[in-house]
Amino acid sequence: MSGTDKRKQSLYFPEEMLKEIQEEANRQDRSLSWVVQQAWKIARERIKAFPAVNDVAGLPDPKEDR
């Protein structure tokens, strides 16, 4: 995705998590969006290592039918 491509998206966080993110954004004088984007960049490889729901349930991967 291009660095200039901006899309509006609603995300929902538990209240306590959102409060923590807001506190960190305030501490760093950054936006909530910036903090979440940085967190994704740091965590994405770890998250990609999680098994898919179908892997856990032992169900066939629907992408393999293509």
Q: Higher model confidence: residue 54 or residue 19? A: 19
Summarised one tens digit per residue, pLDDT across range 9-47 is 899 999 999 999 999 999 999 999 999 999 999 999 999
pLDDT score, position 56:
67
Give Cα separations from 24 to 37, 39, 42 (angstroms).
13, 11, 15
Q: Are 31 and 45 in contact (CB under 8 A)?
A: no
pLDDT score, position 61:
63
pLDDT score, position 66:
58
pLDDT score, position 60:
65
Tell me: pLDDT of 64 over 70: no
DSSP codes joined into one string, the chain: --TT----------HHHHHHHHHHHHHHT--HHHHHHHHHHHHHHHHHTSPPHHHHHTPPPGGGG-
